Structure 1
Amino acid sequence: MSCHTQRVGLRSFFRYFRHVRGRLSISNSSISKLSFSSKDSSFNLLNLSSASAFCAVARLYHNRTRNSCSQQKLTSGSFVKLPYLQSEFQQRISTSLSIIRSSSKLSKLKLKGMDLKDVLCALDKFAPTSLAESWDNVGLLVEPTPPHHVKTMFLTNDLTEEVLTEAIDQKSDFILAYHPPIFAPLKRLTMRNTKERIIVRAIEKRIAIYSPHTCYDAVKGGVNDWLAEGLGPCNVEPMKTSQKPSDSGWTHRIEYVVPDTSSLLLPLGLGTSVSQVSSTPTENGLQVVHCCNEQGLLSIMESMESSPEIKKTVQITKLEKLPTPGTGTGRICKLKSPVSIATAVQRVKNHLGLQHVQLALGSQKTQDSEVKTVAICAGSGASVLAGVPADVYLTGEMSHHDILAAVARGTSVILCNHSNTERGYLRVLKAKLGDMLNGTVNVIVSEVDADPLNVV
């Protein structure tokens, strides 16, 4: 059914009952709590904020069931049985009601969308790309020619050709792929392999592609924190806290002494590479202090080559990056109440919706052994978890020899397959994006995306 037909149906529905508005005293707050049932199926007005719709259905109910009013009460949260609708007019109302049932279609009519640059700003506010590991490739990977308006955002863990087809069918303007579909550099864009075909089709369909990857691993409330929730009540801390440069962008602080103000000559063209100079008189001259970035530092030192006396007084301090509490690599989880390994395994399976996981018991451990601490890393965790003291490692995959090393230290290992430790977070992210984007963008989670490995 086209959007035009939907609008006509709704207008017909509301126009007939407009004269009853005011006869029924019903608040907007009660609307979202009300459920109705037609002859065939039930639905609710969760996404309908118009009091007129509620009044309309209530009036219909009142006219058709006045003889049984003593048996049913129309109250917030009640279940109302609508009689069968037979007349042509009643069938029109029934059609309108079926439109209301399709909450996703009705929601799309209300969504205004958002400019791409505003979407990127919202995503960066939640998880700045500076949180990503240095080896990663995150952020906007494919950008359509501006202006680009985003009405439908599509979430997936892995962007395969099948998933891209699903996104195109959903008329997506923006794909958030947790794993970067562009990681190794591409020398050409042809149809010869999967990676290149995906990018070509996305460009042809004017679909932006964005990847957060390790940003979402590190951010507070991200993938690793979600994974930790499945263990039960515990105290969760990053293994290594993330750090970011200061907002000013300065990387070094430089101090030196000049004989007088005439000697205080900085090279031209430094621009924003050097902060404003401050100076303090001393017995030996002026103590000069200012901050700079890498390029500014090189320019200053080059200018001092002709002033060896000043150069001898130079002191350089490298500025540390600012720690970001609650964010960082991996997670250490200290359970508030210790459990057995068997219980920990079952909790992981329940949280991830898996029937099977792989378990390697630590040396001298059984499934009844006590678990107090769990080290977590979503995806491939060997390099992150190596040497971390914990009773259990929980990750997606590790190599055979990394598992043997953990077992030898007495640490048990739970493996769930790589993307199984990540994909479930997309449902959580969908809810977060609703708030981040002020409800203006339709957010869809892929139904095709799945881990390629299955236990058979």
Structure 2
Amino acid sequence: MTTGQDLIDQIETFAPLGLREPKDPTGLQLGDPNQTIKKVLVTLDVRPEVVAEAIDKQVDFIFAHHPVMFRPAHNLDTRNPQNKMYADLLAHHITVYAAHTNLDKAQGGMNDWLAAALHLENIQNIPSNEADTLYKFVVFTPIANADLMRSALADAGAGEIGNYSHASYTLAGQGRFLPESGANPTIGAQGKLETTQESRIEVLVAETKLQAVVQAMRQTHPYEEPAYDIIPLKNSASTIGLGRVGDLAHPRSILEFAEQIKQDFKLSGLRIISHNRQQKIQRVAVIGGDGGKFYPYVLTTGADIFVTGDIYYHVAHDMLANGLAAIDPGHHIESIVKPQMTAKIQTWGQQFGWDLTVIPSELSTDPFYFI
């Protein structure tokens, strides 16, 4: 049996809620996450036509990139199409979950998918002023389990310091415990004080990776009740990336690059912001969705061009004044979430033995058509 919460826990391990922008209504949108789920629909937007598709396909969980409840409902008058949509979801017991700006920032998430689709190399985060809270994570484990534990913690993202990974510190000592009635000890017996040789493993963990590290520890630890500490630190981890920046394999003109984007994303049109469309470019920054306001951070990366959607008229002028060209392919290129998250949830299903069917929405929710 797989519940919605099982899936949500894994989503939030991959794209922690701590990454979301302030006031972004990311997370559970509607429904009961404790109910059993059998079929998941992945979509960019939750619109009435998508809900009709979900009902027709007997879906019981919708994963969306864009939150369905950006604005609170002031009444439940179902003559309003949005309220009617909520009512239909509830009537058919469909749980809706959205991962928005946390998925944009997550390593291996939206902006990494877009960077790969743009054929970028040497991909790095676009730095921001936002820094991750840092913790010291300490776990006590039998010495024979220490190597496996260190590896599991590192694979989950612990022990990353600058350009180094797998950083940890280990001390040997004696662990003591008394298994009480009802305990099922890996070492020792009920009612008998036990002493065993253990390793104390210390690693640094960013808050956005903490849930994944705790989960990895529990899956790897041989004890039914592992002992561990989570200690907040004053120093902070590396900055969280708003988007990604990378290089094209070879310089290209802005117009050539724009034509390639149009072809790859199957667009009927896009906007170019440049004084010279024949200018050769190689270093490219990308932020999915509406990222124009973040162009000052892009300037620090040395990017020749910035790819993002919904660029505001006056922001476009400011970009040009600062010598930054841009391509606006629209917001809907984030529909890349459909194949990517479908594949990811399917992988989780195989990994955890979930009995789930996962399907991408077949509908386009792009509200614009170019002529």
**Common fold, TM-score beyond 0.5?**
yes
Is the Cα–Cα contact under 8 Å of residues 47 and 365 in structure 2 kept in the other structure? no
For the structure 1 residues 413 and 190, does the alpha-carbon distance in structure 2 shift closer, same or farther, using more than 3 Å as the test? same
1:341 aligns with 2:254: yes
State the SS of the aligned residue for 1:155.
Answer: strand
For the structure 1 residues 201 and 236, does the alpha-carbon distance in structure 2 shift closer, same or farther, using more than 3 Å as the test? same
1:218 aligns with 2:105: yes
Which deviations, in whole Å up to 9, do the C-alpha atoms of 1:221-272 show, x marking residues without a partner?
21111111233242221213664445689xxxxxxxxxxxxxxxxxxxxxxx
For the structure 1 residues 435 and 368, does the alpha-carbon distance in structure 2 shift closer, same or farther, using more than 3 Å as the test? same
Aligned partner letter, 2:53: E
State the SS of the aligned residue for 1:196.
Answer: helix
Is the Cα–Cα contact under 8 Å of residues 382 and 402 in structure 1 kept in the other structure? yes
Distance (Å, rounded) in 2 between the aligned partners of 1:348 and 1:411 = 18
Partner of 2:361: 446
Matches within 5 A, 1:273-292: none
2:26 to 100, 118, 138: 138
Matches within 5 A, 1:4-43: none
2:290 to 380, 384, 403: 380
Distance (Å, rounded) in 2 between the aligned partners of 1:425 and 1:142 = 20
Matches within 5 A, 1:394-413: 394-413=307-326
Distance (Å, rounded) in 2 between the aligned partners of 1:232 and 1:198 = 38
Which deviations, in whole Å up to 9, do the C-alpha atoms of 1:96-145 show, x marking residues without a partner?
xxxxxxxxxxxxxxxxx61122111111121111111112111111132x
Aligned partner letter, 1:401: H
Partner of 1:428: 340
Which deviations, in whole Å up to 9, do the C-alpha atoms of 1:141-179 show, x marking residues without a partner?
1132x7411111111111111110111111011011211
1:369 to 265, 279, 286: 279
Residue 212 (structure 1) shift? 0.1
Distance (Å, rounded) in 1 between the aligned partners of 2:348 and 2:294 = 30
Q: Which runs of 5+ in 2 are unaligned?
A: 138-231
Q: Which runs of 5+ in 1 are unaligned?
A: 1-112, 250-316
Distance (Å, rounded) in 2 between the aligned partners of 1:350 and 1:423 = 15
State the SS of the aligned residue for 2:298.
Answer: coil
State the SS of the aligned residue for 1:328.
Answer: coil
Is the Cα–Cα contact under 8 Å of residues 131 and 243 in structure 1 kept in the other structure? no
How many residue pairs get aligned? The number is 270
Distance (Å, rounded) in 2 between the aligned partners of 1:346 and 1:158 = 26
Distance (Å, rounded) in 2 between the aligned partners of 1:226 and 1:406 = 25
Calculate the aligned-residue CA RMSD, in Å: 2.4
Distance (Å, rounded) in 2 between the aligned partners of 1:114 and 1:443 = 13
Partner of 1:156: 43
1:238 aligns with 2:125: yes
Distance (Å, rounded) in 2 between the aligned partners of 1:243 and 1:174 = 33
Is the Cα–Cα contact under 8 Å of residues 163 and 449 in structure 1 kept in the other structure? no
Aligned partner letter, 1:319: K
Residue 396 (structure 1) shift? 1.5
2:114 to 219, 224, 227: 227
Aligned partner letter, 1:353: K
Which deviations, in whole Å up to 9, do the C-alpha atoms of 1:44-80 show, x marking residues without a partner?
xxxxxxxxxxxxxxxxxxxxxxxxxxxxxxxxxxxxx
Is the Cα–Cα contact under 8 Å of residues 268 and 369 in structure 2 kept in the other structure? no
1:120 aligns with 2:8: yes
Distance (Å, rounded) in 2 between the aligned partners of 1:371 and 1:204 = 52
Partner of 1:202: 89
Distance (Å, rounded) in 2 between the aligned partners of 1:320 and 1:443 = 41
Is the Cα–Cα contact under 8 Å of residues 138 and 212 in structure 1 kept in the other structure? yes
For the structure 1 residues 248 and 205, does the alpha-carbon distance in structure 2 shift closer, same or farther, using more than 3 Å as the test? farther
Residue 387 (structure 1) shift? 5.8
Aligned partner letter, 1:201: D
Distance (Å, rounded) in 1 between the aligned partners of 2:262 and 2:17 = 31
Is the Cα–Cα contact under 8 Å of residues 134 and 233 in structure 2 kept in the other structure? no
Partner of 1:356: 269
1:177 to 64, 71, 79: 64
For the structure 1 residues 238 and 194, does the alpha-carbon distance in structure 2 shift closer, same or farther, using more than 3 Å as the test? farther
Percent identity for Structure 1 against Structure 2: 29
Q: Which has the higher contact order (CA 8 A, sep 6+)?
A: 2
Is the Cα–Cα contact under 8 Å of residues 233 and 337 in structure 1 kept in the other structure? no
Distance (Å, rounded) in 2 between the aligned partners of 1:168 and 1:244 = 40
Distance (Å, rounded) in 1 between the aligned partners of 2:99 and 2:263 = 26
Partner of 1:312: none
2:75 to 188, 197, 222: 188
Distance (Å, rounded) in 2 between the aligned partners of 1:387 and 1:240 = 7
Distance (Å, rounded) in 2 between the aligned partners of 1:203 and 1:344 = 45
Distance (Å, rounded) in 1 between the aligned partners of 2:48 and 2:73 = 17
Which deviations, in whole Å up to 9, do the C-alpha atoms of 1:196-227 show, x marking residues without a partner?
22222111111101000111110112111111
